[in-house]
Amino acid sequence: MENLVQIALQNVNLAAIMPSLVLVCFGMGLLLINVFLPRGTTRPAVWISLVGIVVTAGVVVQGWGSPQYGFSDAVALDNFATFFNVTFLVAAALTILMSDEYLHREGYPVGEYYPLILFTTAGAMWMASGTDMMTIFLGLEVMSVSLYVLAGFFRGQVASNEAGLKYFLLGAFSTGFLLYGIALIYGVTGSTRLTEIGVYLNSHSSLLTNPMTLAGMALLSIGFLFKIGAAPFHMWAPDVYQGSPTPITAFMSAGPKAAAFAAFLRILEYCFFSVKPEWTAMLWVLAVLTMTVGNFVAISQTNIKRMLAYSSISHAGYALVGLVAANEIGYSGVLFYMLAYTFMNLGAFAVLVLAGKKGEENLTLEGFAGFGYKRPFLGVAMTIFLFSLMSIPPTAGFAGKFYLFAGAIKAGYIWLAVIGMLNSAVSFYYYLRVMVYMYFREPTEDYAWVSMPIGVLVTIVLAIIGSLYLGVLPNEVMAMAKMAIF
Amino acid sequence: MSNLLSLITFFPLVGMVVLLFLPRESDRLLKTVTLVITLITFLISLPLAFDDAFRTSAEMRYVEFAQWINIGEYFRMNYYVGIDGISLWLVMLTTFIMPITVLSTWHAVEKNTKGFMALLLLLETGMLGAFIALDVFLFYIFWELMLIPMYFLIGIWGGKNRIYAAVKFFIFTAVGSLLMLVAIIYVYYYAVKAGLPFQSGFSIAHFYQLDLPAHLQTWLFLAFAFSFAIKVPMFPVHTWLPDAHTEAPTAGSVILAAILLKMGTYGYVRFAIPLFPVAAMKFTPLFATLAVIGIIYGALVAMMQDDVKKLVAYSSVSHLGFVMLGVFAMNLQGLSGGMLQMINHGISTGALFLIVGFIYERRHTRLIADFGGISKKMPVFATIFMIMTFSSVGLPGTNGFVGEFLILLGAFESGLRWYTVFATTGVILAAVYMLWMFQRVMMGKITNPKNEELQDLSGREIAVMVPLLVFVFWIGFYPNTFLEKMNPSLENLIQQVKGKQQVALLVEAPTPSVAKITVNE
């Protein structure tokens, strides 16, 4: 044991964990500062956490192109991790920007909210840069535990309590699966290093059909598919998404989900490259199932927040298409799509944050009747986000989906692409319906309660810029996503 | 000017941005500005129509090329535009119809004028872009872009059942185009594997050179053809059209009929048939059958309508059946007739929708039964209506005659004889439903006292119709102005398609004989 610790310490390379380190320091500091702030004062926390994110972003961006490895190869801050880190930071920043007024409106102006988001982000970063099962697990736990608290943040609201508890119980359950999977794989290969596992499995091909390996793979996958929200492990998602505070729902569907994709992708590619045909076949089925379940259930929703929750399931299905393709284009498509989805989905949720009344009221379709006339800017913004979610050109959603499906077609999965496209067509129906209410119905209210705090405005503007920039001029970011693939 | 096409295409978009900064209450100002923008667009597009080089050259002209998306060896999309004789008149039709449409909305649109005008301009950019795109990906972008404004035009300013119609319109068209997208990507990767120069991206000129095996062509053609068939619309995927037309505001119907539907037929001429000539040949009987069913079915259903607008909508199904028949004849008469009929349909059906709009604005009803004997109260209106009816029916001397005659001639000569025989009944049926409708609306005594008060067309309304009338007779008497500029490109296209089809036939033909010999031995 002592020996192990020594080896680990010899390999300390703080540069490899610098981004998350900075973020955690800000989070810790903020926790302390919060103690000295009077109750109900959250502004400083917002600013400090934003500064933390900007500083971290600076550190992250510097790492581009110069990968850092450390802790005996348990952590790799490569381009792959950096790209995802940017996605997480964007998600965190947009979430924080849209939260402040909302927390005050809902009656929970508690400063601890912000450090929790920072911790979640740090956990996500560890997941993306983890090259050891234990690092990934550590990141997953840090991320999840903070999210459990955030989901149940409105402790006086039944729905929020339910969300927190449900997320916690099912999350803990799925973590069990994941750990069991790690244990089995460790039992087979004698290692938790991803590369070592991959090399070992590759050179001992008899192990590939070993029930223990297969069970380990299956359990690992279940753990990640749960976090991704893929069917049939998606049952938690709608209730948790609906019950959580709206900005947290937005955050959950973008940041942590991307983190799960990052870790899953890395594990599949590092450890299980020798059984690619097997897991692509499995993911093919799951991708189809996830898209279809998400879309068809979303059709019947009348609450927009819940509808977006289900649609978020179907978007996970589209992203899985990139994993099925299992080629460069598909993988970089996943990276690109996660970033694109972060912008468009957080934008849509930001509009929901504004349109809602105290106590999460007025999030139904009916509550949006004529919204586009009374609040023209928000209406146009929401329209852009919805079209992007529908993947209509020239938006980020289209570019991302094009990328993903091009990967699938290149790999020969024509039918998967066709099913995916038909699924998009199904999704048109429920996204269009929001616009139907916003523009085609006469307003029944004057939406006088809809205020325009600067933070949310900035979120929306940034999300619009992101949704259009990635769609019209995807060159730079797509090239980066390409470079980020191992 | 080297970037004339971009200027024409994006000028309306720039206009839209300008429009967004105008005050929303100034109804008249908004309309005037939009009118001026569309008029300027038309004026700057005029040099295209007067370019004599189209008479002799089948080449793409006014070509612009710029790199757009370039991701290592993943994909390359270019901003690659240009026009030839095929797209020339469609571009002109678009820029020509738009100011007329705007002028027609003067009193028809009162609610949220700013949004309406902005969407019209966005739509114009989308339509022009789709016609000039020479990169399939770029075409797809514009193709989808058109959906958005049209969806809102129907949904916000439409009639009673507008929401249903708008959603149906959107979903029908989008389903088709999504399948086409899969096919586009597939063709691209096939082309890359076949050694397509990477810089050319999704350029159709390069896709034309591909030698796709027959079984692949079948699927790819079906994916493209399905998407375009919805847009045309061909029987049996036409059901969105009557809803969309009936519910859309007049301006929306005019644009839908005059230009948007041409996207579908243009898609066949530019993409589906030349990209997959062998499959197109194989499916010619199927599409000719569907075209003929469309002609007769559209006409019969039109006959039974009691709503004038619905009648015109169904007549579109019938008319576009003719266009499809001409296109699939794949000879010069048929194809040029088809192309000409696209323009004709744009003019005469567009005009008929405007006419329906005029009486609707006056009486707020479109039911045939509510009218009768109006010609006495509105003589100018009656004259114009009659000419447009004749044009739609295809009376000699009007544009409709030339188009339909060429189509039938071409189809007859190309071996689609029996189809032609049945299609010809469509001409007769058209006379029945159009003239019968005209008789019930315009002739006889005024039975409904409300019609006593009707005012004849105003100066503005006449100004809307006159340009259309000019072209009814121009094309009717001297179609050569238009035909001679499209013929070189069409000949080139036919040669290219026929050549590939011949090769495929030659390859296919010896195989059975060889097989026979071996069996005999």
Per-residue model confidence as pLDDT tens digits over B174-223:
888 888 999 998 888 888 888 777 777 888 888 888 888 888 889 999 99
Do the Cβ atoms of A265 and A394 come closer than 8 Å?
no
Domain contains A239 = no
Residue in chain B closest to A393 (alpha carbons) equals B141
Answer whether A468 touches B (CB < 8 Å). Answer: no
For chain B, how many structural domains are there in total?
Answer: 1
- At residue B503, φ and ψ (nearest 5 deg) are -60, -45
In whole angstroms, what is the distance from residue B111 CA to residue B397 CA?
41
Does A409 sit within 8 Å of B186, measured CB to CB?
yes
**Residue labelled with tokens 């106590």:** A359
Report yes or no on A218 lying in a domain: no
Would you give per-residue pLDDT tens digits along chain B (521 residues)?
578 888 999 999 998 898 888 888 888 888 889 999 999 999 999 888 888 888 888 888 888 888 888 776 677 888 888 998 889 999 999 999 999 998 888 877 778 888 888 899 999 999 999 999 999 999 999 998 888 899 888 888 888 888 888 888 888 888 888 889 999 988 888 888 887 777 778 888 888 888 888 888 899 999 999 999 998 888 888 888 888 888 888 888 899 888 999 999 999 999 989 999 888 888 989 999 999 999 999 999 998 888 888 899 999 899 999 999 999 988 888 899 999 999 999 999 999 999 888 888 888 888 888 888 888 888 888 899 999 999 988 888 888 889 889 999 998 888 888 888 888 888 888 888 888 888 888 888 888 787 777 888 888 888 888 999 999 999 888 988 888 888 888 888 888 888 888 888 887 655 544 444 444 43
The answer as to whether A312 is a domain residue is yes
- What is the pLDDT, as a whole number, of residue A3? 61
Q: Classify residue A229 as left (phi > 0), alpha (psi -120 to 50) or beta.
A: left
Question: Which of B144, B184, B218, B240 should one mutate to test binding to chain A, selecting the residue with the greatest count of A CBs within 10 A?
Answer: B144
What domain range includes position A294?
Answer: 279-486
> Before B236, cis peptide (omega within 30)?
yes
DSSP codes joined into one string, B201-269: TTBHHHHHT----HHHHHHHHHHHHHHHHHHTTPTTS-THHHHHHHHS-HHHHHHIIIIIHHHHHHHII
The interface pTM score, or ipTM, of the predicted complex is 0.87
B501 burial class (0-12, 13-18, 19+ CB within 10 angstroms)?
A: middle
User: How far is residue B16 CA from its own chain's centroid?
Assistant: 23
How far is the alpha carbon of A19 from chain B, nearest alpha carbon, in Å? Answer: 28
| Cross-chain residue pair A479–B147, CB shorter than 8 Å | no
* Contacts with A406 from chain B: Cβ below 8 Å: 74-75, 185, 188-189
pLDDT score, position A145: 92
**Token pair in block for residue A77:** 């801050």
Compute chain B's Rg from CA coordinates. 23
| A4 closest CA partner among A220, A192, A139 | A192
| A227 located within any domain | no
| Interfacial A residues in 415-444 facing B (CB < 8 Å) | 417-418, 421-422, 424-425, 428-429, 432-433, 435-436, 439-440
Q: For residue A394, tell me if it sits in a domain.
A: yes
Pairing label, strands B75-83, B61-71: antiparallel
**Short-list B285, B355, B293, B301, CA closest to B320:** B293
Of A417, A440, A478, the CB nearest to B71: A478
> Of the candidates B170, B171, B189, which has its C-beta nearest A410's C-beta?
B189
Answer for the pair B246, B313: CB distance below 8 angstroms, yes or no. Answer: yes
Q: CA of B186, closest CA in chain A: separation in Å?
A: 6
Q: Is B155 on the interface with A (CB under 8 A)?
A: yes
Instruction: Return the ∠ at Cα A320 (arms to A316 and A324), rounded to 5°.
Output: 175
User: What burial class does residue A258 get, using C-beta atoms within 10 Å of its C-beta: 0-12 exposed, 13-18 middle, 19+ buried?
Assistant: buried
Calculate the CA B59 to chain-centre distance.
22
Closest approach of B82 to chain A, Cα-based (Å):
21
Option in A394, A421, A475 nearest B71 (CB): A475
Name every chain A residue with its beta carbon within 8 A of the beta carbon of B155: 435-436, 439-440
Any domain includes A374: yes
- Per-residue CA distances from B510 to A185, A242, B276, B517 (Å): 60, 66, 22, 11
Q: Does a structural domain hold residue A192?
A: no
Instruction: Give B325 to chain A, closest Cα distance, Å.
Output: 29
- Whole-angstrom distance, CA of residue A173 vs CA of residue A96: 29
Which candidate, A464, A458, A457, places its Cα nearest to that of A354? A457
Q: How many CB pairs under 8 A join A and B?
A: 90
How many domains does the structure of chain A reveal?
A: 1
Whole-angstrom distance, CA of residue B125 vs CA of residue B145: 9
Residues for chain A: how many in total? 486
Written as one letter, the residue type at B235 is F
Q: Dig out the tokens for B451 from the structure.
A: 């019609």
Task: Tell the residue number behind the tokens 């028949």, with chain if given.
Answer: B325
Interface test with B, best of A391, A410, A469 (most B CBs within 10 A): A410
Pull the structure tokens for residue A136. Answer: 């990934």
Contact between A323 and A386 (Cβ < 8 Å): no
| Contact present, A115 and A366 (Cβ < 8 Å) | no
Contact yes or no for A180/A253 (Cβ under 8 A): no
Task: State the best of A395, A414, A421, A477 to mutate against chain B, taking most chain B CBs within 10 Å.
Answer: A421
- Cα–Cα distances in Å, from B303 out to A277, B315, B432? 59, 9, 7
Nearest to A425 among B68, B162, B175 (CB): B175
Give the CA count within 13 Å in the CB-facing half-sphere of A400: 31
Does some domain include residue A475? yes
Q: Kindly determine whether residue B141 and residue A417, on different chains, have CB atoms separated by under 8 Å.
A: no
Q: Are A282 and A323 in contact (CB under 8 A)?
A: no
Measured between CA atoms, how close is A365 to chain B, in angstroms? 15
Q: Is B184 on the interface with A (CB under 8 A)?
A: no
* Full pLDDT tens readout for chain A, 486 residues: 556 666 656 677 888 888 999 999 999 999 998 888 888 788 888 999 999 999 999 999 888 888 888 887 888 888 999 999 999 999 999 999 999 888 888 888 888 899 999 999 999 999 999 999 999 999 999 999 999 999 988 888 888 888 899 999 998 989 999 999 999 999 998 888 888 898 888 888 888 888 888 899 999 999 999 988 888 888 888 889 888 899 999 999 888 999 999 999 999 988 888 888 888 988 999 999 999 999 998 988 888 888 988 899 999 999 999 999 988 889 999 999 999 999 999 999 999 888 887 766 677 888 888 888 888 888 899 999 999 999 888 899 999 999 899 899 988 898 999 999 989 988 988 998 888 888 888 888 777 777 888 889 999 999 999 999 998 888 888 888 888 887
**Residue-level pLDDT at B519:** 41
For chain A, how are helix, strand and coil distributed in percent, rounded to 5? 80, 5, 20
Give the closest-approach CA distance of A404 to chain B in angstroms: 11
Distance CA B479, CA B402 (A): 7
CB contact under 8 A, A393 and B141: yes
Contacts of A393 in chain B (CB under 8 A): 140-141, 144-145
Q: Which domain holds residue B38?
A: 4-520
